[in-house]
Structure 1
Amino acid sequence: MNQAIIDAKKALVSEIAEKMKDAESTVVVEYRGLTVAEMTELRRNLRAEDVEFKVYKNAMTQRAVESIGADGLKEALTGPNALAFGKDAVAPARVLAKFAKKHEALVLKSGIVEGKVVDVETIQKLSTLPNKEGMISMFLGCLQSPIIKFACAVKAVAESKEGSAEAAE
């Protein structure tokens, strides 16, 4: 084999491995049976959530998976696969699962979330979570809730004392 071809393949493997390492989550899907229009719609939905969606040869992806130590992902790399790389741990799973509900041809297979290989069930559970900003706002709401309840109780006590003081006069 030509040395230039070998170097190009090594560069591709290292590119895939780098993307997997840099992404908070990577989801593997099988897209067999989707039309071009459906793939375009899926790519548009993923791009809106800042998720990169690429199709690589399985052999190159398997080598990249070996190089980062995520060998559990190798068994999912059969058939026509695509990879979704997300900076948000939940975004790829959420967008792909929502699209898969409408289009049965898209099959969620496996993935890597924060460096750990996960199965389809975990990806499905992740898809029900809100994005990072949504989780932060929910957390802040939980933190503020006791303070708001305490403030309301103090206000109610103050109002009841004012009402009883006026009645006594």
Structure 2
Amino acid sequence: MAERVIPADKVSAVDELTEKFRDSNATVLTEYRGLTVPQLAELRTALGASASYRVSKNTLAKRAAHGAGLTELDEYFSGPTALAFVTGEVVDAAKALRDFAKENEALVIKGGVMDGRAITADELAKIADLDSREVLLSKLAGAMKGSMSKAAALFAAPASKMARATAALRDKKEAAGE
């Protein structure tokens, strides 16, 4: 079967979507059927700077995904589809989408792609349960500080013991009158 030719006015839209697929850390495909325009605006606000949310025709989005080398997303291009292009922290965007979907049952997370690999809605939910990058870095810094404190105490222990032994010997000599 021959491929349909895209009208000239749609070529730029496909090119833009292809570029977004390539430049994103992850892309999440959702079904937005039943969401109002104010709800979509609320979702865009919830995503903040971590992602952009765009409603797209399936044929154009599918062509763009193929142009970016993402053929494994084909199964998700059915029904009304909107794309969340994540350029910031994937965990933050996943949390925002999960939380919004809990409040608005009309938003259905279909799946997506991260690091060139297709991910399911369940995998995206697991990503949403992770701590953010900042929290993980803080935990790592705290663990490293604790380890360094233990190492410093361990290295200082022999010198400290020697100083206490010397002080005790001096006190003992002074007590004996020497």
What's the TM-score, normalizing by structure 2? 0.78
Asked if the contact 1:90/1:127 (under 8 Å) is kept, the reply is: yes
Match of 1:123 in 2: 124
Question: Which runs of 5 or more residues in structure 2 are unaligned?
Answer: 1-5, 172-178
- Tell me, in whole angstroms, the C-alpha distance in 2 between the residues paired with 1:8 and 1:136: 46
Matched positions, count: 164
How do 1:14-163 and structure 2 match up within 5 A?
Answer: 14-47=15-48, 49-88=49-88, 89-154=90-155
Asked if the contact 1:72/1:117 (under 8 Å) is kept, the reply is: yes
Percent of aligned positions that are identical: 35
- Tell me, in whole angstroms, the C-alpha distance in 2 between the residues paired with 1:92 and 1:104: 18
How far did 1:163 drift? 5.6
Q: Aligned letter for 2:31?
A: E
How far did 1:114 drift? 1.4
- Tell me, in whole angstroms, the C-alpha distance in 1 between the residues paired with 2:161 and 2:38: 65
SS in 2 for 1:55: strand
Asked if the contact 1:13/1:64 (under 8 Å) is kept, the reply is: yes
Q: Aligned letter for 1:77?
A: F
Question: Which runs of 5 or more residues in structure 1 are unaligned?
Answer: none
How far did 1:87 drift? 1.5
Whichever of the two has the greater Rg, that structure is 2
SS in 2 for 1:105: coil
- Tell me, in whole angstroms, the C-alpha distance in 2 between the residues paired with 1:7 and 1:141: 56
RMSD: 2.4
How far did 1:149 drift? 2.3
- Tell me, in whole angstroms, the C-alpha distance in 2 between the residues paired with 1:112 and 1:55: 17
